[in-house]
Amino acid sequence: MPNYGPMQITKNMKMADVIHLNYLLLNILSRFNITLGFGDKTVEEVCGEHKVNVEFFLEITNSYHDENYFPKKQLQGFPVHLIVNYLKKTHDYYLDKKIPEIAELILRLTTQFPPSTLPGIDLLNRFFIDYKEELTRHIQREDDSIMPYILEVEQAFNSKKLSGMLFEKIKAEFIEKFALEHDNVEDKLYDLKNIIIKYLPPIEDQDLCNQIFIELSRLERDLNNHARIEDKVLIPMVMHMERKLLEQGAYRK
């Protein structure tokens, strides 16, 4: 089927052109520890220098760049730990960078316009604090319990050795339960954006409000892509490995 979506990113493109094409991809580069200053090097050359799997890099950047490009099949061909590493880097980016940045902007707003006098700003502030707590809980659960479990399953799958403990966890439907409970942290950002557009009082520093809105929208987009990889790629991969492990009777007492 012809692809009428945005231009696809390929390994022979110059990395500089990729960023000109979509500056939001800068966020992805830092998750792969790729730094700026690529000169005229191609995507493949830059990835090679930074010891990044170029095919994996292309799948991630393309799925980010074009929402309709979703390489479920291709991504499922990569080792699970590559995907886990990428997702964990993204978690760090949210908690250590993005959320503090937005918090800083909201702090500027509340300092200039004391919430006690402006109920809309108070609402935005409280809503954001709640959101931050919720996102932190969501990510901590994934980092502390889900990702280690997934890596354990991958290891068992590769070595064809399943410990009794892991066997029990698979039987207890650990990942199925997570998949069911895995909630949409990005939906709440929509409500936050609504507060800004609908309920903030007219204030002088409109630019600051616009900036907060834009940052929330970028975060929302990023989280959307992140959750798609978790739900549509990672979880099915884990379930597949679990099934194979049980079928192969890899569990030995």
Q: Which is nearer to Fe ion, 142 or 154 (CB)?
A: 142
Q: Least distance from C-beta 185 to Fe ion, angstroms?
A: 7
Specify the DSSP class assigned to residue 23.
G
Q: Which is nearer to Fe ion, 230 or 242 (CB)?
A: 230
Q: Which of residues 30-89 bind Fe ion (CB under 5 A)?
A: none
Q: What's the number of CA atoms in the CB half-sphere (13 Å) around residue 80?
A: 23
Q: Which is nearer to Fe ion, 64 or 113 (CB)?
A: 64
Q: How far is CA 64 from CA 34, 42, 209, 225, in A?
A: 17, 19, 26, 6
Q: 45 near 18, Cβ under 8 Å?
A: no
Site string for Fe ion, 138-177 (x = CB under 5 A): ----x-----------------------------------
d(CA 92, CA 90): 5
Residue with CB nearest Fe ion? 142
Q: Least distance from C-beta 212 to Fe ion, angstroms?
A: 23
Q: Which of residues 218-237 bind Fe ion (CB under 5 A)?
A: 230
- Using only C-alpha atoms, the chain has a radius of gyration, in whole angstroms, of 21
Q: Least distance from C-beta 113 to Fe ion, angstroms?
A: 34
Q: Least distance from C-beta 177 to Fe ion, angstroms?
A: 14
CA angle 185, 190, 196 (to 5 degrees): 130
Sequential DSSP letters for 39-54: TT-BHHHHHHHTT--H
Q: Which is nearer to Fe ion, 142 or 222 (CB)?
A: 142
Q: How many residues bind Fe ion (CB under 5 A)?
A: 2
Q: Which is nearer to Fe ion, 86 or 157 (CB)?
A: 86
Q: Which of 145, 137, 46 is nearest to 95 (CA)?
A: 137
Q: What residue ranges bind Fe ion (CB under 5 A)?
A: 142, 230
